[in-house]
Every structure is written in C-alpha cells, then in structure tokens.
C-alpha cells in the first residue's frame, strides 16, 4: 500500500474546481495550495493510518486535504503586511503579492471555513466526523494555532523564557501537527491511551519542526529555505537559538526527536514515519 | 417560553473566558462580539425552534452563538483597511482601530475556526451535529459568504445587472441568513421539503436585509446606521438603489417581504418572526 501523492494533490484542489466558486477566489486559493508545500501534515496522517493497517481510500485523502487547507490559510494570513510582511514563501511570491491583500484575506478565510464542509460530507460514521471536526477546530482556533500566533506576535522584541517559547510553539505548531496523529487514531478507533500518546508525539514533533526552523533560519541560505535567512535574528525574536545558543538548540532537537521515536514505538511500527522524524535531524 | 437574551449573550462570550486563550486575543474578540450587534441570526434561529415547538436549552443557545461568531468574524475582516477600510461600525471603533490590524485578522480567524469546536462539543446526536457543521460551513465559506464578498469586491466600480447583484447578495448575506432557518429545521427533524422551503425563506430574507441596507445607506443618518452614510454611493457600488432607483428598491423590498411571509406561513406559525420581517418594512 503506497500513498498516492497525485490523489492527495487532486483532493487538495478538487473542492475549488466547483463552478459555483468565483474564479478569482479559486485561483488565489489554488495558487497557495500548490505553492510547493511539503504536505507534512497530510503525509503524517496517511502514514499513521497505514501504520494502523487502514487501507487508504478517498475519505482519508479528504481529511488529509482538510488539515493542509487550514495550514495553508494560516500561511497566507501570516505573510500579510500587518503580520510577518513577507514577499516570498518557498521562493514564490506570497498570496497578497501575487494577488492583493483583500483577496489574500478572503482566501485564508475560505481555507479556514471550507474544510469543515469537506469533513461533514465525508463517508465516515457521524461520531467519527464529529470527533474529527472537534480536533481540527481545537488544533487551529483560539485553543491552538491562532492562540500561538497571537502569543508569538506579543512576544516579539520581548525576552521570553524557554518555557514561554515552548508554550507558544506547542500552540502555534504543535496542535496542528498533533492533528494528523490524533485523527488517524480516531479513524483507526484506537483506545484513549493510544490517542493521548499520539497527541504527545504530534506535539513534540511540532516543537522539533520549530526548533529546526529556528536553527535553519540562522544556518540556511535563501535557496535552502525559500525566504530571506536571518529574519528572526534581525527581528530579535526569542527563538530557540537565541535562548539556548546554536549548539544548545541542536542538542534539544536531537533529544526531542529521540523522545518522539521512542513514543512512536509504543503505539505503532512505521518505518515511513521514522524516516520523516530522522529527516529532521541536523548533522 | 421566552428567549433568554442574557443566556444568549453569555453563550456568545463564554468560550473566550477560558484561561488557556491569550488575554489579548480574547479581549479583541469579546470587544467585537459585544459591540452592539442586533443578534438577528441567533434570534431567527431560536424563534424558529420555538415555532417548531422545541423547548430552548443550552445546546440551542450554543448553535445560536456559533453562527453569530462567524458573522462577527466576517465583519471584523470586512472593516480592515485592505477591504472596506471602515473606522467605525455601529458607532464604535472597528476592531483594527481599537486594537491593531494583526490582532483583527487573528480575531476574525478565531471566530471562523472556533464555532466548529462548539458545534462538535454540543449534545445533539452525531448526525445532527454533522448536518449543522455542513450547513454552517456551506453558508460561510467559498460556497457562501466569502464567495459573496469576493464577487462584491470584484463588482465595485463595475456596472452590474440586477441578476448579478442578486447573486452576490444571495451568497454574501443570504446563505448566512438561511442557516438559522435550516438549522432549526434540522434540529426539529423536519422533512426535506420543509428544509428546502426554510432555506428559501432565509435566502430571501437575506436579500431583503441587503436591499434595506442599500436604501438606508442613502436615506439614513450616522446616528441611525452607526456609520458614514452615502458611502456606497460615493464608491459607485452597484446597489439596489443605484440599479432600480430609490422607489424601485422600496417596491422590490415590499414584494420580497410579502413572499417571505407567505412562504413562512406554509411551514410554521410564528408571530415573532413575522414581527422581525415586518420590522424590515420601510414606511
């Protein structure tokens, strides 16, 4: 059983092929949905389902699309002039630069609202759909991603403690990375304890991604990271590198990835997910 | 059985009293949620439930809150500099003027994402929750409100036909006003035909609201409408008044309200909803 990337890409943009959706809106949404994202959240979800022995069908690809849509909406809004004011993402013009600010705001809004329609229309049993809706909203809204973005913004140019920085990233990145693991557990009808462990794995992996980003912001080039390097440092952000030094951040990342691997071994065996975890290691 | 407005107000802001939500975010959201909205959508929903003989309990007030939250999020984003660039709404500073643009963007985002958590946590049966999630997302996203806003923006300074203007308002205002009727029908487990009729009633009522707004934009004062009058005209928007003249718009509104009343009589008897419909009449 192989993950069908073409199918994932198809499900991601399929919703916006509907004739009823204004062309201008659909074009700007599809632009960002196909702007070279690595599909980490969808892939973790699908690989975790595989690890639980679930044959991958269309409804699974749709849940994978739903989480990627919300993630993409958040990137569009993050890049806005009033937020991070970025002109490029992954080496391409950001949505508001390619289109305009009003369109980018509305494209993001649509990407926050539409995934719930996709989930509600899916063929899972109603209790599973309700659980997925609850988890996706929890991961993305005021209890998750959006809260993390607010705290991140509030924390700019302030000196934060390592605990405060960890809390921010648990919300900003962790919750949305926990969703793929938790959602797979829900669909595979795993017991509560397994779902709790899956949540922890996702949260810690989210933190690992963030620490890795912080390290790469210092050590990477424009080509490698697709945006201007050193931006966090220039903005005096409380990154892990600023807090722990480059070596300290690298050590923390290493420890965290080990914890994630050990935890994963307790709930399921997946060489593919271990491969993703190991790809985050910095040599 | 009386609708408890205090209870509605409590449910609207209750979600944001959670200690985990950053204070700054909660403050800006609560500011807009309590900025003098008339609660039309929640009231229509609760009154329609009453008309179907459903005793109003906490879960009903939460669905009422959910639709008002999304409506409020859309107002916050509508007012942004990149969109309508309004400094005042209902006589108070708009969210981005009271706080800042980044906060306003994130407050709106939260108000789009959080209601699904509230719906998913409600005590209705899972199939009813799934139906409500589907309808709320349909009403608000790329198939509804957001699509209407995009078309409205695209249509500025263009000459549109009455049919085009009607299509825009069906999406922009109609879908979100249909939700309270359709949702009440779902909870009251009404047959498909009744739900289809309820949808039509809401859609037409939405159109009536829009035509009334267009009329009042021309005839009202700052005190009456809580914002600068004549703004649509100054921006050469294709309003109903611009298309049909003031008298033509007034006549269309009158006809539409009659249709809504006649349709309502076919599905349920509600003096309270008739009162709301009649309050839209312009003498």
pLDDT at position B221 is: 74
| pLDDT beyond 70 at B180 | yes
Q: Please check whether residue B244 is in contact with residue B252, taking contact to mean a CB–CB distance below 8 angstroms.
A: yes
3-state secondary structure at position B93: strand
pLDDT at position B226 is: 64
Q: How far is B54 from chain A (nearest CA, A)?
A: 23
pLDDT at position B2 is: 82
A126: which chain B residues are within 8 Å (Cβ-Cβ)? 125-127, 129-130
Cα separation, B51 vs A249, whole angstroms: 62
pLDDT at position A227 is: 65
B213 inside 8 A of chain A by CB: no
How large is the average pLDDT for residues A154-173? 90
How large is the average pLDDT for residues A136-141? 98
- Mean predicted lDDT score pLDDT of chain B: 94
Using CB atoms, pick whichever of A109, A117, A150 lies closest to residue B112: A109
pLDDT at position B283 is: 77
Cα separation, B183 vs B132, whole angstroms: 6
pLDDT at position A16 is: 98
Q: How far is A117 from chain B (nearest CA, A)?
A: 5
CB atoms within 10 A of CB A246: 15
Interface mutation target, options B137, B155, B175, chain A, most CBs of A under 10 Å: B137
Q: How far is A215 from chain B (nearest CA, A)?
A: 26
Cα separation, A243 vs A31, whole angstroms: 36
Residue indicated by tokens 């996203």: B141
pLDDT at position B156 is: 81
Q: Where are the beta strands (DSSP E) in chain A?
A: 88-89, 92-93
pLDDT at position B227 is: 65
Using CB atoms, pick whichever of A112, A130, A143 lies closest to residue B129: A130
Contact partners, residue B150, CB within 8 Å, separation at least 6? A22, A24, A25, A103, A106
| pLDDT beyond 90 at B151 | yes
Cβ distance A146 to B25 less than 8 Å, yes or no, reads yes
Using CB atoms, pick whichever of B77, B113, B150 lies closest to residue A25: B150
Interface mutation target, options B150, B179, B182, B235, chain A, most CBs of A under 10 Å: B150
pLDDT at position B220 is: 78
Q: How far is A248 from chain B (nearest CA, A)?
A: 29
| pLDDT beyond 80 at A211 | yes
Cα separation, B124 vs B58, whole angstroms: 11
Cβ distance B146 to A121 less than 8 Å, yes or no, reads no
Tens-place pLDDT, residues A224-259: 666 667 777 766 778 889 889 999 999 999 999 999
Using CB atoms, pick whichever of A18, A101, A134 lies closest to residue B117: A134
| pLDDT beyond 80 at A183 | yes
pLDDT at position A25 is: 97
Among B159, B156, B154, CA closest to B243: B159
| pLDDT beyond 70 at B166 | yes
Cβ distance B109 to A109 less than 8 Å, yes or no, reads yes
How large is the average pLDDT for residues A210-218? 91
pLDDT at position B157 is: 74
Cα separation, B8 vs B47, whole angstroms: 13
Residue indicated by tokens 């890409």: A9
pLDDT at position A271 is: 94
How large is the average pLDDT for residues B11-15? 96
Cβ distance B146 to A15 less than 8 Å, yes or no, reads no
A127: which chain B residues are within 8 Å (Cβ-Cβ)? 126
B33 inside 8 A of chain A by CB: no
pLDDT at position A237 is: 76
User: DSSP code of B230?
Assistant: T
B83: which chain A residues are within 8 Å (Cβ-Cβ)? 102, 105
B136 inside 8 A of chain A by CB: yes
The values of phi and psi at residue B11, to 5°, are -65, -30
- Which residue in chain B is spatially nearest to A140 when comparing CA positions? B113
Using CB atoms, pick whichever of A112, A129, A154 lies closest to residue B113: A112
Using CB atoms, pick whichever of B26, B105, B138 lies closest to residue A80: B105
How large is the average pLDDT for residues A58-75? 98
Tens-place pLDDT, residues A84-105: 999 999 899 999 999 999 999 9
How large is the average pLDDT for residues B262-266? 97
Q: Where are the beta strands (DSSP E) in chain B?
A: 88-89, 92-93
What are the DSSP calls for A23-73, one per residue?
HHHHHHHHHHHTS----HHHHHHHHHHHHTTPPP-HHHHHHHHHHHHHHHH
- The interface predicted TM-score (ipTM) is 0.95
Cα separation, B270 vs A79, whole angstroms: 48
How large is the average pLDDT for residues A186-207? 98
Q: Please check whether residue B108 is in contact with residue A110, taking contact to mean a CB–CB distance below 8 angstroms.
A: no
């Amino acid at each position: 059983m192989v993950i069908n990337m073409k199918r994932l890409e198809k499900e991601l943009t399929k919703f916006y092929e509907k004739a009823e959706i204004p062309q201008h809106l659909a074009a700007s949404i599809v632009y960002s949905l196909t702007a070279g994202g690595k599909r980490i959240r969808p892939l973790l979800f699908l690989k975790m389902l595989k690890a639980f022995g679930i044959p991958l069908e269309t409804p699974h690809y749709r849940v994978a699309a739903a989480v990627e849509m919300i993630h993409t909406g958040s990137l569009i809004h993050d890049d806005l002039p009033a937020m991070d004011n970025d002109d490029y993402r992954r080496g391409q013009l950001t949505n508001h630069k390619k289109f305009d600010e009003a369109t980018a705001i509305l494209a993001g809004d649509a990407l926050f609202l539409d995934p719930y329609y996709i989930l509600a229309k899916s063929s899972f049993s109603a209790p599973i759909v309700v659980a997925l809706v609850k988890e996706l909203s929890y991961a993305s809204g005021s209890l998750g991603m959006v809260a993390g973005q607010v705290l991140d913004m509030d924390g700019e140019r302030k000196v934060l403690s390592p605990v405060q920085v960890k809390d921010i990233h648990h919300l900003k990145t962790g919750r949305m990375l926990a969703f793929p693991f938790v959602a797979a557990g829900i669909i595979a009808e795993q017991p509560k304890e397994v779902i709790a462990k899956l949540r922890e794995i996702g949260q810690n992996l989210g933190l690992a991604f963030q620490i890795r980003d912080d390290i790469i912001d210092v050590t990477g080039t424009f080509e490698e990271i697709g945006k201007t390097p050193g931006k966090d440092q220039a903005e005096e952000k409380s990154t892990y590198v600023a807090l722990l030094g480059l070596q300290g951040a690298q050590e923390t990342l290493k420890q965290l990835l080990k914890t994630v691997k050990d935890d994963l071994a307790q709930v399921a065996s997946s060489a593919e997910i271990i491969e993703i975890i190991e790809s985050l290691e910095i040599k």
